[in-house]
Structure 1
Amino acid sequence: MTEKTAETKVEQAQNAALDLAKLSDDERREGLLSIADAIDERHEEILDANEKDVAAGQRMLEEGEYSQALVDRLKLSESKLESITEMVRSVADQADPLEKTLAARRLDEGLELYKVAVPIGVVGTVFESRPDALVQIAALSLKSGNAVILKGGSEASHSNRVLYEIIREATADLPDGWAQLIEAREDVDALLEMDDSIDLLMPRGSSAFVQYVQDNTSIPVLGHTEGICHVYVDDAADLEMAADVAYDAKVQYPAVCNAVETLLVHEDVAEEFLPGMVERYEDAGVELRGGDGVREVVTMDAATEGDWSTEYGDLVLSVKLVDSLDAAIDHVTTYGSKHTESIVTEDDDRASRFMRSLDSASVFHNASTRFADGYRFGLGAEVGISTGKIHARGPVGLEGLTTYKYHLEGDGHLVATYAGEDATPFRHEEMAADWTPGERSDE
């Protein structure tokens, strides 16, 4: 069989998107449950494929080509696969994001306008080493009625192929071609040129890669880039709580974008807080890098200017003392990536000022940055975390994969009726009504 080109795959996805958008929520939900069941039944096959990727990744790690964090993200396990199917079922059970009436307005008697949620169409995704990302993205795309082009990293190629085939076979009754897998690096450049066929691109990777995509396409781009996240321990913090939050934010899973990379500590609590915190981090194997003031209180390696703007993705943490809330805000504004920040304080006014002053997609009070996640937010899952401001921000779930169209229900209404000296005035009355073809509100 001749290998399909990227152009052919995108064309098939474009055709499938039209049919997918017409499916009922029950049909899309059944497809998702079939995916979950199929993954449950094929753990051994998936783990065998993943073992090849991890072994190759380990060799690249030993040669200095890969980081430990990347290899960690590659690994699947029985428990990880169970989490993946739990995620798929969670997406299936989310409320239908389509055909929701977002707004309704009576323009005149019998003339009613409805703003209705619809799929975006064809979504192109390029993502990093985590094989579970393929399943997350596919599940959210199906639930939201979008066809999807999936391009994973070569480091996870065996895992991605098996997972894709499972998804394709499990949804054989759905529009053919709704999910497509591409693997060649040159296919990414081909996708960037398909502005007439692809409606949204979602790259997940380094800032440099996302910038490359943005600079080389006219397709709208929803970028998922670095997470340079911060936890600020205020001088009004409950220090026991602060230690727990700061530990969880770094150690619970350091290889992800919502893990903390810089810990900011008010200088008035440094001597009380830092010695125990440092000991706890060191016991967990965290490499610490501190600013000048920090190293006057505890012993650790010196932080460089570059550390403040580095996403480690590993058990490495930079620590800095600040003399005020404003100084903490200034540091985050200067070095952060607008991903997720957290303040630990018992002073609600300071918490409010911190959260209002920062331009990050997620800002927390007395909680770990690791909560910045689509599943934990109750979105079912996420296709990525957007640090931009257009269309969607933070964890991008089902709502971020929809747009809207306007439906107008009339009864032979003419624009001429509302023009000229004797024009009938518009009523423009807001309604609380859902759109149903041919029906009008009884309000």
Structure 2
Amino acid sequence: MTETDIERDVDEAQTAALALANRSDEDRNAALREIADAIEARTDEILAENEKDVTEGERLLEAGEYTQALVDRLQLSQSKIEDIAEMVRSVAEQDDPLGKTLSARELDDDLELYKVAVPIGVVGTVFESRPDALVQIAALGLKSGNAVILKGGSEALHSNRVLFEIIEEAAADAGMPDGWAQHVEAREDVDALLEMDDAIDLLMPRGSSEFVRYIQDNTSIPVLGHTEGICHVYVDDEADLSMAEEIAYDAKVQYPAVCNAVETLLVHEDVAEEFLPAIADRYETAGVEIRGDEATREIVDVDAVTDADWDTEYGDLIVSIRIVDSLETAIDHVTTHGSKHTESIVTEDADRASAFMRGIDSASVFHNASTRFADGYRFGLGAEVGISTGKIHARGPVGLEGLTTYKYHLEGDGQLVASYAGEDARPFTHEAFDGDWNPGRLFDE
């Protein structure tokens, strides 16, 4: 694709974004349901294309170029496709994020200011190997009235192509504007997109920290970064150890290839001798490779951890374990080595839970729960475009709300600024009130 082609596609996306923002919630929901039905109807076709990606991935795994975790993320199945379709339907069931009155303020009699939720516009996304990411982003973009530029990894090329084709055709059949979703394949197209600050309103890269930093350093477009998840579970000396074992196991084993899986387990020294043998047995049975600090290796027979391990997102059946002497030491470890993604404390002491949760600067901090709950669907957001570890403008799992901004609507009755200036200036009231924007309200009174 040449740069001219990219510019044409982005221009189409800009035009479509304006049209999509004015489609009713009912129309957007109907399109989403059409997409979900089409995905299920073409399951065999999707699986056949996905098999091409997986076969190539396994070849590159044998050559040492891919990891098992990456190949696992590529793999689709009939049940996964059913889950993808249900995810799209769940997005349709969410409340309309557009047109909501976020605040209302009377400036004076019959002069009312409303802050109203609107789409961001054109959102560019670059994401990793999971084919379901393309569907999640497209579904959330459609529901929130945003046009989306979709750039998936080359490792999922065939899967992304067929899924995009299905989405594009189904949305068109449901009457959505042409060009609201664009599919970009070539690596060099990313650099071209980075220069389109006059046309693209937000970039959302999902990948390594290095990749996200590259995007941030090479564009003036606002970037909402979705980077790695170096997540922690801290087992406090006041923990229910049976609960702690289940949480530590679920956080690592339930799906190790994702960013909200635990990578480091911190254990208080007062419970280590009782807790570690039990969790080590569970991990080893599940095929988890354990790397422990010196204190851990005095209790269980595991490999030695390195300094680099504390800063590594494994995305695989590997976990690092450190024994700590206090809650404060656990917090310090997370602050030093964490990626501000998701952390969890297991304790029956409310004060310690509060201290941990207030003392950790991560997008999600849990008490007595697996880190795997850090997910847009599980949070009730319908789905997510990713998990943001930054603080502006959205944080944690980014769903529909994170894809909206706002604008101000002012409803008046002929007021002039001159009336509020000079010696005889009329005072503003500036009083907040409960009410939704309605352009005919003042006429109806």
TM-score normalised over the length of structure 2: 0.98
Residue in 1 that maps onto 2:237: 235
Letter aligned with residue 105 of structure 1: R
Residue in 1 that maps onto 2:162: 162
Residue in 1 that maps onto 2:16: 16
The answer to whether the Cα contact below 8 Å between 2:263 and 2:313 also exists between their aligned partners in 1 is yes
Residue in 2 that maps onto 1:306: 308
Aligned residues: 443
Letter aligned with residue 102 of structure 2: L
1:407 to 400, 406, 409: 409
Residues 232, 2 of structure 1: alpha-carbon distance in 2 compared, 3 angstrom cutoff: closer
Letter aligned with residue 16 of structure 2: A
Residue in 1 that maps onto 2:43: 43
The answer to whether the Cα contact below 8 Å between 2:292 and 2:304 also exists between their aligned partners in 1 is yes
Residues 250, 419 of structure 1: alpha-carbon distance in 2 compared, 3 angstrom cutoff: same
Show structure 1 runs of 4+ deviating over 6 A: 1-4
The answer to whether the Cα contact below 8 Å between 2:3 and 2:192 also exists between their aligned partners in 1 is no
Letter aligned with residue 112 of structure 1: E
Letter aligned with residue 45 of structure 2: E
Give, in whole Å, the separation in 2 of the partners of 1:372 and 1:274: 25
Residue in 2 that maps onto 1:343: 345
Percentage of pairs with the same residue = 77
1:245 to 244, 247, 272: 247
Residue in 2 that maps onto 1:222: 224
The answer to whether the Cα contact below 8 Å between 2:47 and 2:77 also exists between their aligned partners in 1 is yes
Residue in 1 that maps onto 2:60: 60
1:422 to 410, 419, 424: 424
Give, in whole Å, the separation in 1 of the partners of 2:4 and 2:75: 29
Residues 441, 394 of structure 1: alpha-carbon distance in 2 compared, 3 angstrom cutoff: farther
Q: How many Å apart are 1:37 and its aligned residue? A: 0.6
Give, in whole Å, the separation in 2 of the partners of 1:377 and 1:320: 30
1:190 to 186, 189, 192: 192
Q: Tell whether 2:216 aligns with 1:211.
A: no
2:322 to 304, 320, 323: 320
Letter aligned with residue 371 of structure 1: F
Matching of residues 165-184 of structure 1 within 5 Å:
165-172=165-172, 173-184=175-186
Letter aligned with residue 440 of structure 2: G
Give, in whole Å, the separation in 2 of the partners of 1:171 and 1:296: 60
Q: How many Å apart are 1:442 and its aligned residue? A: 9.5
Letter aligned with residue 189 of structure 1: D
Residues 331, 166 of structure 1: alpha-carbon distance in 2 compared, 3 angstrom cutoff: same
Matching of residues 349-428 of structure 1 within 5 Å:
349-428=351-430
Q: How many Å apart are 1:217 and its aligned residue? A: 0.1
1:256-311 per-position Cα deviation (integer Å, ceiling 9, x unaligned): 00000000000000000000110110000000000011011111000000000000
Give, in whole Å, the separation in 2 of the partners of 1:53 and 1:306: 31
Q: How many Å apart are 1:226 and its aligned residue? A: 0.6
Letter aligned with residue 399 of structure 2: G
Give, in whole Å, the separation in 1 of the partners of 2:146 and 2:52: 31
The answer to whether the Cα contact below 8 Å between 2:230 and 2:264 also exists between their aligned partners in 1 is yes
Q: How many Å apart are 1:4 and its aligned residue? A: 7.4
1:2-54 per-position Cα deviation (integer Å, ceiling 9, x unaligned): 99722111111011001011101001101100000100100000000000000
**SS across alignment from 2:207:** coil
Residue in 2 that maps onto 1:92: 92
Residue in 1 that maps onto 2:266: 264
CA RMSD of aligned residues (A): 1.4
Residue in 2 that maps onto 1:291: 293
